[in-house]
Amino acid sequence: MNLATYVARRAALSVFVVLGVLVITFYLSHILPGNPALLFAGTNPSPQEIARITDQLGLKKPLYEQFFIYIDGLLHGNLGESISLQAPVTTLLAEALPNSITLAALATLVAGAVGIPLGILASRSRNSKLDNVLRVFSMGLVALPYFWLGLLLQLVFASGLHIFPIASYGGSLFFISQNSIPTITGSYLLDAILTGRFSAAAQILWSMVLPVITLAAFPTGVIIRQTRGSMLAVLNQDYIRTAKAYGIPSSIIERKYALKNAISPVLVALALVFAGSLVGTVFIEYIFFLQPGLGFLIFQATGVGSTTTSLAGAPDYSLIQGVTIVITVAYVVMNFVADVLQMLIDRRIKL
């Protein structure tokens, strides 16, 4: 099997995964209790009004027919209308995604920049005190829940030491509107950099330090353990022992020979870390009040908190499905990219 066939097969399998998630999500969202027509109708609707809106939304049609209508709209870029926010789901996702992707990307960069060197350091000093400390440290990072770590960092570094702002981009709910940053990508940080507003960019980045640290904690622990395990497996190979016997310095052996062959599974882990961090932004954005973002969309869609959705008792089907599609596609795409990268880097992998 050649490279093109391998990529095509993986792409086809990825499409089936996305389709499967669409089917499951669509079915589960429609068996949840509550009538979306009640929310769409507003306060104290009449039975006639509810019946009219139910018919208008196509809720009387068989479930399979509603699904095909939804797929047809999806293929044409129409994810439906958010009942709770009274806006197209595509528009809401376009506003939320750039900031969430920026946050997830920064957390992934931190996880890689910190986790890989520490993993190499741990493998270099196997079973030493330093290795044991790093193993405990990585396990601790993996075990820390997002919401607890985020609140702890806010308590210590924001409320206590007043080093970082406690919440919001730029440290204020009105920072973005007061600085009038032109929209290019939709990401506040990137737009500030691209438009040359470096002072605003620095303030936005400073306000993202605690959220990024919180989001990067779990993946950093994962990368440390993954790098350590991969390096140990490679360092035990015969060609490494041969290189040592020839008197090649350990630093060159680790950098030129060991790391090259050990980095493949680490890159796979980093790709999946990015997708996982995109899900993790749900909690981080809510804790640090980073809006707009996927976090607020999910809470709005499921009716968590004091929203109109929760009061009406009806989940926002279209918004739930839209956010689920985004997260699913992120996982599938990053998994696909990881597979291709792993195959390109490590030619020992059979196609």
Using one digit for the tens of pLDDT, what is the confidence trace for 163-205? 999 888 888 888 888 888 888 888 999 999 998 889 999 999 9
Same domain, 125 and 43: no
CATH number, domain at 145?
1.10.3720.10
User: Residue with structure tokens 């400073």?
Assistant: 206
Please give the Cα distance from 185 to 87 (Å, whole number).
Answer: 20
Please give the Cα distance from 114 to 137 (Å, whole number).
Answer: 12
Mean of the pLDDT values across residues 289-310? Answer: 68
The boundaries of the domain holding residue 286 are: 93-173+210-293+327-342
Using one digit for the tens of pLDDT, what is the confidence trace for 85-113? 778 888 888 888 999 999 999 999 999 99
Give the chain's domain count: 2
Residue 137 lies in a domain: yes
Beta-carbon contacts of residue 285 (< 8 Å; ≥ 6 apart) = 99, 100, 103, 211, 291, 293, 294, 295, 296
Using one digit for the tens of pLDDT, what is the confidence trace for 326-335? 888 888 888 8
Same domain, 103 and 80: no
Count CB atoms within 10 A of the CB of residue 91. Answer: 13
Same domain, 127 and 26: no
Residue 20 lies in a domain: yes
Same domain, 159 and 282: yes
C-alpha neighbours within 13 Å on the C-beta side of residue 277: 32
Same domain, 116 and 139: yes
How confident is the prediction for the chain on average, in pLDDT? 82
Identify the weakest region by mean pLDDT among 79-88, 149-158, 286-295. Answer: 79-88
Same domain, 106 and 57: no
